[in-house]
Amino acid sequence: MEDLHLIVGLGNPGGEYARTRHNAGFQLTERLAGQWSAGWRNERAFKAWLAEAAVGRRRCLLARPQTYMNASGEAVAALVKNYQVAVARVLVVVDDADLPLGELRMRTRGGSGGHHGLESVEQHLGRRDYPRLRLGIGRQQQAADREITGHVLGRFRADEWATFEKVLERGGELVCCWLQAGATVAMNRFNGVVDTPQPKDH
């Protein structure tokens, strides 16, 4: 299906992980599904929830792998193979603790940066040249570099959520731009820091 675009949000299944920082990818794909009036269906053969939509002249398949983050590549590779999606038309959306909260960055290739979900995707696809969109979730300043599990699996504070909603909004705009105008235009237009909500004066 040469014209199909696959947008995969990575995360962990289950209510205990809902709206955690590590599920940023899930949250963006859920937002897009709502925006595009696309209903989710559980496709056990692909170990993923899928939703289909037409965006302009583009056919899109949204996916939320149910394999847990560290095995995300199993679902991604199965979907790419079954739907015969060109790798340049696969966008993987993940959280990134190395990006400050409020920043997002798309790239068309690269390493995993230590992200286990991206490591799994790279392993199962056997390549690094697939587009990925990183959504910044920040890092606890007092935490050692490798001691971030509690942070990424925690939920956003109210003030953080207000900023992250802006990230989701801009991320959705980036995805739509990518679909219509391509990666270069989308990266040039949307990579960077969002306008963060300002606290109200009392």
Residues with catalytic roles: 22
pLDDT of residue 172: 97
Domain contains 70 = yes
Any idea what the CATH number is for the domain that residue 85 is in? 3.40.50.1470
Assess if residue 54 is contained within a domain. Answer: yes
155 within some domain = yes
Q: Given this model, what pLDDT does residue 3 score?
A: 83
Residue 150 lies in a domain: yes
pTM over 0.85: yes
23 within domain boundaries? yes
- pLDDT at residue number 22: 85
**pLDDT for res 140:** 56
- Predicted pLDDT of residue 21: 87
Query: Would you write out the chain's pLDDT as a tens digit for each of its 202 residues?
Result: 458 999 999 999 988 888 888 899 999 999 999 999 999 999 999 999 999 999 988 999 999 999 999 999 999 999 999 999 999 999 999 999 889 999 999 999 999 888 889 999 999 999 999 999 999 998 755 444 444 555 556 677 888 889 999 999 999 999 999 999 999 999 999 999 998 655 555 4
- Within-domain flag for 146: yes
Q: Output the 3-class SS for the chain.
A: CCCEEEEEECCCCCHHHCCEHHHHHHHHHHHHHHHCCCCCEEEHHHCEEEEEEEECCEEEEEEEECCCHHHHHHHHHHHHHHHCCCHHHEEEEEEECCCCCCEEEEECCCCCCCCHHHHHHHHHHCCCCCCEEEEECCCCCCCCCCCCHHHHCCECCHHHHHHHHHHHHHHHHHHHHHHHHCHHHHHHHHCEECCCCCCCCC
Asked whether residue 199 is assigned to any structural domain, the reply reads no
What total number of domains does the chain contain?
1
Its domain, for residue 152, covers: 4-193
Asked whether residue 92 is domain-assigned, the answer is: yes
